[in-house]
Amino acid sequence: MKFFIDTANLDQIKEAQDLGILDGVTTNPSLMAKEGITGKDNILAHYRAICELVEGDVSAEVIATDLEGIIREGEELAALNPQIVVKVPMIKDGIKAIHHFTKNDIRTNCTLIFSAGQALLAAKAGASYVSPFIGRLDDISTDGLHLIADIRTIFDNYLFNTEILAASIRHPMHIIDCALLGADVATAPLSAITALLNHPLTDSGLQKFLEDYNKGNL
State yes or no: is 87 an active-site residue: yes
Identify which range of 34-42, 92-100, 129-137, 148-156 contacts ligand E4P by CB under 6 A: 129-137
Q: Of 14, 34, 87, 208, which is the active-site residue?
A: 87
Beta bridge partners of 87: 61, 109
Give Cβ neighbours of residue 67 (< 8 Å, ≥ 6 apart).
Answer: 93, 96, 97, 100
**Alpha-carbon dihedral of residues 201, 2, 97, 35, nearest 10 degrees?**
50
Residues 51-90 that bind ligand E4P (CB under 6 A): none
Contacting ligand E4P (CB under 6 A), which of 113, 167, 181, 185?
167
Cβ distance to ligand E4P smaller for residue 134 or 210: 134
Name the CA radius of gyration of the chain, rounded. Answer: 19
Q: How many residues bind ligand E4P (CB under 6 A)?
A: 11
Contacting ligand E4P (CB under 6 A), which of 7, 95, 187, 193?
187
Phi-psi region of 126 (alpha: psi -120 to 50; beta: other; left: phi over 0): left
Identify which range of 67-75, 96-104, 127-135, 207-215 contacts ligand E4P by CB under 6 A: 127-135
Report the helix count and the strand count for the chain, using DSSP H and E: 11, 8
Q: How many residues does the chain have?
A: 218
Q: Active-site positions?
A: 87
Residues binding ligand E4P (CB under 6 A): 6, 26, 28, 111, 131, 133, 135-136, 167-168, 187
